[in-house]
Each structure stands twice: as structure tokens, then as C-alpha cells.
Structure 1
Amino acid sequence: MSGPLTEVALLLLNTFVNLYVLIVLLRFLLQVVKADFYNPVSQFIVKATNPVLVPIRRIVPGVGGIDLSSLILAWTVEFIGMGLVYALVYGGQIPPILNLCGWAIIALIQTLLNIYMFSILIIVILSWIAPQSYNPAVLLLHQLTGPMLSRIRKIMPDMGMLDLSPIVAFLLIQVIEIFLRPIAEAIDFPSKLTQLALGL
């Protein structure tokens, strides 16, 4: 394949991989923060991931309340997806397996950072335009980001009605991303593949 067919294939592949990894990581995070799994959005996430996740859980048990099976599933999807993306971009070549393992880990970390970045951004915007919103998705975002923001508030000086914890969270995420870039370069993460798979 070449030209438009390759671009269509990359579009479909990236869309499927990114969306499914996002859903799996959301399930992992919601379990970590003990979110409400009776929430309609949570129920959708559970139904979307159970067909693949339940068989993996029979082999990979959780450890200390951490759902390792979700992380393994997300990493496996990234590993396969990025390998296919690489093959499409570079004419059927197969990347070194160890490099691909590292690329998948970096992609997962970037996705986790993006989840928190956009979740906090949405909450901040909604606090201005719809502070009393009881939408199930909004409630879930509050449950997801609440533990992080509350920890930041505990170590910050009292600013009265002014909550600077989202700004601190944004800065922390950007600091992690700064440290992530040289690691990606160290394992020869191709810039073209980085743009396609990570959105950088």
C-alpha cells in the first residue's frame, strides 16, 4: 500500500488503538481511585473491556489493589498497534522488539498524562461555565482527578478561595513530559512514528 491507502490505514489503525488503550487505561485509573462503577460511563468502560480483560485476569491477578491485567492489555494493544504503524510507515520493516517494548511503555505514559491533562482542563472550564453540573461524565472526572488535586492542595499554602492546584498539576505533567522526551530519543523513537502514534 502507498499514498492515500496508507494514510487511511494509519488513520483507522491509530483511531482504534488510541481509543481502546484510552478506555483500558481509564478502567485501570478508575479502579485505582475507587471511582463509582455504577456510573453509566463506568459501565460502558467495563462492558467495552470485559471481553478481553476477563480472560487475562484469570492468568494475571491483581497485586495490592493494582489491576495489572489492564496495564498488560493496554501495553499489548500499544505494542501491536505501534508495530503495525511502523510497518505501514516504513514499508513493511519490523522494528527491534526491545525498542518496540520501550515505545509502547512511553506511549502508555503519554496517554496517562494526556488523560489527566484533559480531565483537569475540562473540570476547570466547567467550574466557570457550569459549576453545578451533575453529568455522569463530569462526576467521574472529579473522582479521577480528585486524589491528585487533593494531595497538591495539602502541600500548598492556603490561598483562600483561589485554587491553584490545577496549575500545579499542569506544571507537573509538563515536567514529566520534558523528562520523557530524552528517554524516547534514547531508545530511537522515530520522529515520524512519534507524531503518528503519540500526537507529539
Structure 2
Amino acid sequence: MGLLQSVIKFYLVVLMFRSAMTRQELYFNPLGKLVAKMTDPVLEKAFKLTKKGADNILPIFLVLAVLLDGLVIFMLTGYGIIIALLAGLADILTFLMLFYIVSTILGGFAGNASMTHYAMFFKRIASFWVKLTRTFFPIKSNGIILPAVIIIFAFFTLAIAGVNIGYQTVTSGINPVASIMSAARSNLLSVAGLLDIFVWLVIIRALMSWVSPDPRNPVVQIIHSLTEPVMEPFRKIIPTIGAIDISPMVLIFVVYFLKTLLVRLVGIIF
């Protein structure tokens, strides 16, 4: 089940990247070429959609992702169809929350000399949430990142709480407070799980440094964009030992410590 759901989410991310790119970027940018290769057969050849038309129906693809996710859960778990669809909706909402949080953080570093230009795509994806946050907090600098992340977390927590209430309507009595608490706990643990993924990205980047991959490769640049905002300050603080850079190892220990702390805090609070 995890593999099928991962494929659904991966393609959803590809579609969101496509919506954040111009038509020129889709055909001249290395990452854009990869995105176009994965989406054009479906959008332009099968459905005869233009770039603008495909962008406009992105919400339909989100709904389709929920239906497919729910169908996978229905087929493999034995849940009723309504329960499975609600579980699929909660799963996609959690994924979108994490993706928008990551995009908001990385987008704040767009234009930084040490970042790849791919950070601009994350900035475009997160622009709605940044603009929304600025209506409440008129902050012009990157100080807007933390309030935006909090708003994203709060919005999706309430959305998932609504899904939980729908589940309670089908199975038992409605308890809004318990639904919100459960959604907040689940989302915080999902954020903690995101730290595990970050650790693996740091490990992959460290291994790649030993084989000197093509820096223009889209996968290499994406991994660089995802890790550089945190790795750069660590490199400045942690001295090398001879020719060996130990900052990735120190960063991994720090991230695991933060994850353990977050999980324990969630256990204490909830």
C-alpha cells in the first residue's frame, strides 16, 4: 500500500512543479524537461490540454489523488468505501501540509548565492501561503517563513480535524475537541517523520560528494536545494578534520536529537 500511495503523491508533486514552471522552463530547464516528459503524455497528448488549461484543473487532479488513495486503502485494508475515502483524504492533506511547509522554508532561500535556482520553484509553490500570511503579519523579510509555516500547520490541522469528525459521524459520536487534538498530534508526528527523510537526503548528498556527480543533474540540484539551507551554516561552524568534512555527521546527530525531543514533547502534551 505504501508504494502505491507514494507513486500517487510523487506524481502529484510533479504536477505541482509543472504548475510552478513557465512553458519555457518546461522545455529548456533540465528539471522542467524531466517534468514535461512525465506529464505531457497525459496532459497534452491524451487530454489535449494547454499549459494554462492543465494548471487550471490542478484541483481536479488533487481530488483524483484523494480518490485513488482512498481506493488503494479500500482494496488493501477491508475498510468500507466511505471510511477508506476519508482515510485517503486525510493522507493527502497530511502530505500537502508537509510539502507546503518544505516549499515555504526552501522558497525563503530563493536568490541565495549558495542555493540552486530550483529554490525559485518552491517559492512559487508556496507563494499563496506567504501572501496569505502577509495579510495578517506584514513582514517583508524571510521572517515571514515561521508565521507562514504555523498558518499552514494550523489550516491543515483543522482540515484533518474536519475529516476526523466525518469519520466519527460514520462510526461513533462527534467530539470536535478530540478530533482537533488527534489531528494536531498526528501532524506533529508527521513533521517529526519528515526529519527522517531529511537525514537520508543528507546521507545521500554526503555519498554523492565522493563520486562527484554532474552538478547540472536535476536530481543532484533538487537534493542540494533541500539540504543546503541547513548544511551551509553547519559547514561554517564545524571545522574540517584534514580534508574530511564532518558537518553532515554532526547535522545528523542534531536532527535526530530534535526529532526525539519533538516526539517526546508530543507524548507529554497529547
Q: 1:75·1:108 contact (CA, 8 Å) conserved in 2?
A: no
Partner of residue 58, structure 1: 135
Higher relative contact order (CA 8 A, sep 6+): 1
Structure 2 residue matching 1:160: 3-state secondary structure = coil
Q: For each residue in 1:123-151, what CA deviation from the matched residue of structure 2 results, as whole angstroms up to 9, or x when unmatched?
A: 23433556223234532432443343243
Partner of residue 27, structure 1: 103
Q: 1:74·1:108 contact (CA, 8 Å) conserved in 2?
A: no
Q: Does structure 1 residue 70 correspond to structure 2 residue 152?
A: no
Letter matched to residue 10 of structure 1: A
**Structure 2: distance between partners of 1:18 and 1:126:** 30
Q: For each residue in 1:99-136, what CA deviation from the matched residue of structure 2 results, as whole angstroms up to 9, or x when unmatched?
A: 46853773475266346324313323433556223234
Q: For each residue in 1:38-71, what CA deviation from the matched residue of structure 2 results, as whole angstroms up to 9, or x when unmatched?
A: 935632x344444454344333322652224521
- Could you tell me how far 1:8 is from its partner in structure 2? 3.9
Structure 1 residue matching 2:153: 3-state secondary structure = helix
Partner of residue 6, structure 2: none
Show structure 2 runs of 5+ residues with no match: 1-77
Larger radius of gyration: 2
Q: 2:188·2:266 contact (CA, 8 Å) conserved in 1?
A: yes
**Structure 2: distance between partners of 1:38 and 1:179:** 31
Q: For each residue in 1:67-110, what CA deviation from the matched residue of structure 2 results, as whole angstroms up to 9, or x when unmatched?
A: 24521332123312441454437744323488468537734752
- Could you tell me how far 1:183 is from its partner in structure 2? 1.2
**Structure 2: distance between partners of 1:151 and 1:56:** 27
Structure 2 residue matching 1:163: 3-state secondary structure = coil
Q: 1:120·1:145 contact (CA, 8 Å) conserved in 2?
A: yes
Task: Give the percent of matched residue pairs that are identical in Structure 1 and Structure 2.
Answer: 18
Partner of residue 80, structure 1: 158
Show structure 1 runs of 5+ residues with no match: 189-200
- Normalised by the length of structure 2, the TM-score is 0.53
Show structure 1 runs of 4+ deviating over 6 A: none
The equivalences for 1:1-200 within 5 A come to: 3-5=79-81, 6-14=83-91, 16-35=92-111, 39-40=117-118, 42-43=120-121, 45-51=122-128, 53-62=130-139, 64-67=141-144, 68=146, 70-84=148-162, 86-87=164-165, 88=167, 91=172, 92-96=174-178, 99=181, 103=185, 106-107=188-189, 109-110=191-192, 113-114=195-196, 116-128=198-210, 131-188=213-270
- Number of equivalenced pairs: 186
Assess, with a 3 A threshold, how the Cα gap between structure 1 residues 34 and 101 changes in structure 2: closer, same or farther.
same
Assess, with a 3 A threshold, how the Cα gap between structure 1 residues 112 and 73 changes in structure 2: closer, same or farther.
farther
**Structure 2: distance between partners of 1:150 and 1:38:** 13
Assess, with a 3 A threshold, how the Cα gap between structure 1 residues 116 and 62 changes in structure 2: closer, same or farther.
farther
- Normalised by the length of structure 1, the TM-score is 0.68
